[in-house]
């Protein structure tokens, strides 16, 4: 692919790259502190890519949740009062506000199969600790409301005295999860710092499957977590498992017969009722203070008597394809004219469902030269695809997936680009393919519309030193880009 850009003299670096890199690392360590590694915190799973759409938390899990110490005192937001209700996970920082989102399906749940649990922290910049505390959400808490003080038991189920000493990374905090806790819960791990006014608040999203000594001989064996609405004709199956494998004798399947049953809280209730009718040794529901278990419209826990042999349940959704879902490309011109290798391609997507759309343009060599993603409602939606390419035949591919993920539609159309060609080749559009950058790699910087070439070894190692929050070597933009790149 060719692109036309005016050449200019290469600027030489004005400072030692090694010194700059060391300064950057030191700066980052000042801002970084720590996170719970075992079991993984909400923010750590963002960094690992398990949790999605996390904002800056995916880059700095160690910095999330820092605010005033003192939880659960007061209303929050001041010295010795802890975080503000609704902003417990982010600590009130706008950079990490995505972590404050809360629903029954928003975050990945780590399965907990043993109530004897060893929490472990990692520290990027350890401060003395007065204590580590572990709070857990109340029995019957609402997982679809933002986290606040009322979401948690008022006292921690586990406290580890820090002695105002610097904590050791990976040192286990041996705790026991209360017997009453089963199914979906949030553990709030709190590291109270001794030499500042702050503490670090790390939410850990868990599905507690560990057996507990419950009244009446019941053991917790799973939960029904209603995560998505269903359509008429869909099915839900509670699959029972024993030590030997799947146990069909205690499995139950229901069908969704009408739109009202398809609501997430309603199909959970229907499945719980079906299990209770079918098997006296199985109970689905929420326990009250007297130990009685009754189904609710929402999340239901699952219990079994030892004689059943059931050790756990898995809930399986059998979602039929939405055969009526349609999507097509409309108003696409057969030809678009490039101006210095660039064009904004305007066209229309026609859908009859709410969908997540992704439009991608490929050149003759099947190289991606433009992409746009957008969530749209049913109807006609205009899309604009910013393209950088050379004249020639191209292929536009539009993929649409219904918001519930059950149905995908795809359409491909040919389109021709004409107009002004360009002269300088580049390998990637920054920061795409950054792991492959080596000496001589040429990249297009969209921010300046210029092409940069990665310098020879050893400076080439800095070409990969980039994150959205640490961009000192970003070509043409970062403060130290000249140490790694030549402008062509």
- Over residues 107-150, the pLDDT tens digits come to 999 999 888 899 999 998 878 899 999 999 999 999 999 999 99
Q: Rounded to an integer, what distance in angstroms lies between the CA atom of residue 473 and that of residue 334?
A: 40
Peptide bond into 39 cis (omega under 30): yes
CB burial string 176-215: b at 16+ within 10 A, e below: ebbeebbbbbbbbbbbbbeeeebbbbbbbbbbbbbbbebe
Q: What is the pLDDT of residue 1?
A: 38
Q: Rounded to an integer, what distance in angstroms lies between the CA atom of residue 310 and that of residue 245?
A: 10
Cβ partners under 8 Å of residue 372, min gap 6? 358, 359, 383, 384, 385, 386
Contact by Cβ (8 Å): 100, 86: yes
β-bridge partners, 161? 131
Cβ partners under 8 Å of residue 444, min gap 6? 3, 388, 426, 428, 429, 430, 450, 451
Beta strands 129-136 and 245-246 are unpaired
β-bridge partners, 317? 236
Domains recognised in the chain with CATH numbers = 2-21+424-487 (no CATH), 33-208 (2.70.50.50), 215-318 (3.30.70.2150), 327-419 (2.60.40.2550)
Q: What is the pLDDT of residue 450?
A: 85
Q: Identify the helix (H) or strand (E) that includes residue 453.
A: strand 450-454
Beta strands 218-224 and 300-305 are antiparallel
Cα four-point dihedral sign 242, 248, 250, 255: positive
Q: What is the pLDDT of residue 449?
A: 77
Q: What is the pLDDT of residue 11?
A: 31
pTM for the model stands at 0.43
Edge to edge, the sheet with strand 408-419 lists 335-338, 408-419, 392-402, 355-362, 368-376
Q: What is the pLDDT of residue 406?
A: 86
Q: What is the pLDDT of residue 213?
A: 54
Q: What is the pLDDT of residue 423?
A: 63
3-class DSSP assignment, residue 110? strand
Q: Rounded to an integer, what distance in angstroms lies between the CA atom of residue 220 and that of residue 111?
A: 13
Torsion of CA 404, 375, 428, 11, to 10 degrees: -140
Contact by Cβ (8 Å): 356, 303: no
> Interior CA angle at 274 toward 268 and 278, to 5°?
150
Please, what is the average pLDDT of the chain?
A: 87
Nearest of 411, 399, 444, 412 to residue 425 by alpha carbon: 444
What stretches in the chain show pLDDT beneath 70? 1-32, 211-214, 422-423
Q: What is the pLDDT of residue 420?
A: 82
**DSSP state for residue 455 in the 8-state scheme:** P
């Amino acid at each position: 692919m060719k692109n036309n850009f005016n050449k200019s003299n290469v600027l030489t670096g004005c400072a030692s790259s090694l010194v700059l890199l060391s300064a950057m690392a030191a700066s980052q360590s000042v801002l970084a502190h720590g996170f719970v590694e075992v079991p993984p915190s909400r923010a750590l799973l963002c960094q690992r890519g398990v949790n999605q759409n996390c904002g800056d938390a995916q880059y700095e899990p160690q910095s999330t949740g820092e605010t005033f110490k003192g939880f659960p005192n007061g209303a929050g937001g001041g010295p010795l009062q802890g975080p503000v209700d609704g902003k417990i996970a982010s600590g009130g920082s706008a950079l990490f506000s995505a972590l404050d989102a809360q629903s029954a399906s928003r975050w990945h749940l780590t399965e907990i199969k043993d109530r004897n649990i060893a929490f472990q922290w990692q520290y990027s910049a350890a401060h003395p600790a007065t204590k580590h505390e572990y709070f857990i959400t109340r029995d019957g808490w609402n997982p679809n409301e933002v986290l606040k003080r009322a979401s948690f038991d008022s006292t921690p189920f586990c406290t580890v005295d820090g002695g105002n000493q610097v904590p050791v990374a990976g040192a286990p905090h041996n705790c026991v999860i209360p017997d009453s806790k089963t199914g979906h819960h949030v553990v709030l791990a709190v590291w109270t710092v001794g030499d500042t006014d702050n503490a670090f608040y790390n939410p850990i999203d868990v599905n507690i499957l560990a057996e507990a000594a419950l009244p009446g001989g019941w053991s917790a064996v799973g939960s029904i977590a209603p995560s998505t609405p269903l359509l008429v004709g869909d099915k839900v199956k509670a699959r029972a498992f024993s030590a030997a494998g799947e146990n069909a004798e205690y499995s139950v399947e229901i069908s969704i017969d009408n739109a009202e049953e398809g609501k997430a809280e309603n199909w959970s209730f229907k499945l719980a009722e079906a299990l209770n009718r079918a098997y006296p040794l199985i109970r689905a529901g929420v326990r009250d203070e007297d130990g009685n278990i009754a189904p609710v419209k929402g999340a239901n826990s699952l219990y079994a008597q030892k004689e059943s042999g059931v050790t756990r349940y898995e809930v399986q959704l059998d979602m039929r394809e939405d055969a009526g879902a349609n999507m097509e490309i409309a108003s696409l011109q057969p030809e678009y004219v490039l101006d210095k290798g660039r064009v904004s391609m305007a066209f229309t997507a026609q859908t009859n469902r709410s969908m997540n759309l992704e439009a991608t343009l490929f050149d003759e060599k099947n190289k991606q030269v433009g992409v746009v993603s957008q969530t749209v409602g049913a109807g006609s939606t205009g899309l604009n695809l910013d393209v950088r390419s050379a004249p020639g035949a191209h292929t536009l591919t539009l993929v649409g997936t219904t918001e519930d993920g059950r149905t995908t539609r795809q359409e491909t159309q040919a389109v021709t680009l004409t107009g002004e060609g360009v002269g300088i080749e580049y390998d990637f559009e920054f920061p795409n393919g950054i792991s492959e950058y080596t000496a001589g790699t040429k990249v297009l910087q969209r921010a300046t519309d210029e092409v940069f070439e990665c310098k020879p070894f050893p400076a080439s190692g800095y070409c990969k030193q980039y994150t959205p929050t640490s961009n000192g070597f970003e070509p043409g933009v970062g403060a130290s880009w000249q140490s790694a790149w030549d402008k062509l």
